[in-house]
Amino acid sequence: MMKSKLEYIWLDGSVPTQQLRAKTRIEENFSGKLEDCPVWSFDGSSTNQATGGASDLLLKPVFICPDPDRKNAYLVMTEVLNPDGTPHETNGRAHIEEEDEDFWFGFEQEYFLYDPQTRLPLGFPAGGFPGPQGPYYCGVGGSKAFGRQIVEEHLDLCLEAGLNVEGINAEVAAGQWEFQIFAKGAHNAGDQIWMGRFLLERTAEKYGVDVEWHPKPLGKELDWNGSGMHANFSNGLMRTCGDKAVFESICEEFGKHIMEHIEVYGAFNDQRLTGLHETQSIDQFSYGVSDRGASIRIPVGTVEDGWKGRLEDRRPASNGDPYKIAARIIKTVKSAS
């Protein structure tokens, strides 16, 4: 009789940024299929999601993939429900009003690897700083790339799990990295980003390293880049229209909803969106071809392909909830059409 480990993963009630939680369930003769993952419960009073007098909340499986780092194991992304089966108030996935696989998303997830003892990024000497930014972006070598072993192991695990990771690279600051995931549909894109984050956290844990998702962990004043999660998006119309006016209409619509987007683009984003370090100010909106200082960048490839392709919203923070971000993007794009 085969016994399988099912790692149930969910988002807690931490404020202002939710954290990942997980626990293992043992199932006999498990098929490996999502529909055969039972609904489970957990103690919401220990995750800032319920009171001790009424602590039971439900975990509804929504995404499954193999767990390549454990024997006979699976990773199960879940969403949190109230005992009556309604979405819990912390359930960001429920913000997606309807599934629409016509929308494609490519998230560029940046993050820092941190030494938990010094509370500084890898590559930073205790009580000091490494050399200034310049050599670290896509850098190679012991004085330029820090934590590569973790990053490479994470990439292998993601690929073995079946996540659609499209690439990795060292980022502009020392100890800062990025992975990119592409998926069709807001639910699928969010599920895969959260699963990628979980695998990164657990891999770094083995090395005694923390993953820092804060968009500006070194502070607003210092001359170090922050971390974002640039959201590339398109729908069928954008991919086929061949019409500059369609893209400009969508960008103009985004400009009408600045605060609605910023509200779900991640906490402490005001420290990152300053108008410096390849960002637009948080209270302003702009768009332009190849403009990395704009709120929305129109990729040159979209123009060269005859105004067919995608847009890139550069404002989402590294700690933003991809479910909420994708839901808001879909809503704004649809209101422009």
Ordered per-residue pLDDT tens for the chain, 337 residues: 799 999 999 999 999 999 999 999 999 999 999 999 999 999 999 999 998 888 999 999 999 999 999 999 999 999 999 999 999 999 999 989 877 789 999 999 999 999 999 999 999 998 889 999 999 999 999 999 999 999 999 999 999 999 999 999 999 999 999 999 999 999 999 999 999 999 999 999 999 999 999 999 999 888 899 999 999 999 999 999 999 999 999 999 999 999 999 999 999 999 999 988 788 899 999 999 988 889 999 999 999 999 999 999 999 999 999 999 999 999 999 999 6
Q: Output the CATH code of domain 3-90.
A: 3.10.20.70
Ranges in the chain annotated CATH 3.30.590.10: 104-336
59-103 pLDDT, tens digit per residue, is 999 999 999 999 999 999 999 999 999 999 999 999 898 777 899
Rounded CA separation 237/309 (Å): 9
Residue-level pLDDT at 337:
66
| Pick from 188, 206, 232: nearest CA to 64 | 188
C-alpha–C-alpha distance, residues 163 and 195, integer Å: 8
CATH 3.30.1280.10 matches 104-336: no
Between CA 274 and CA 322 the distance in angstroms is 22
Report d(CA 277, CA 267) in Å as an integer: 18
Phi, psi of 74 (to 5 degrees): -135, 150
Residue 266's nearest CA partner among 331, 219, 325, 223 is 325
Beta bridge partners of 205: none
Residue ranges, comma separated, of all CATH 3.10.20.70 domains in the chain are: 3-90
How many other C-beta atoms can be found within 10 angstroms of the C-beta atom of residue 253?
Answer: 15
Give buried/exposed letters for 168-207 (b at 16+ CB in 10 A, else e): bebbbbbbbbbbbbbbebbbbbbbbbbbbbbbbbbbbeee
For residues 237 and 252, what is the distance between their CA atoms, to the nearest angstrom?
16
Measured distance CA(187)–CA(181) in Å, rounded: 13
| Cβ contacts of 205 within 8 Å, gap of 6 or more | none
Q: Tokens 């429920």 label which residue?
A: 94
Strand boundaries in the chain, DSSP class E:
3-11, 20-28, 40-43, 56-66, 73-81, 104-115, 120-121, 165-170, 176-184, 210-212, 229-234, 287-289, 296-298, 311-313
| Residues forming a β-bridge with 26 | 5
Provide the 8-state DSSP code for 44.
G
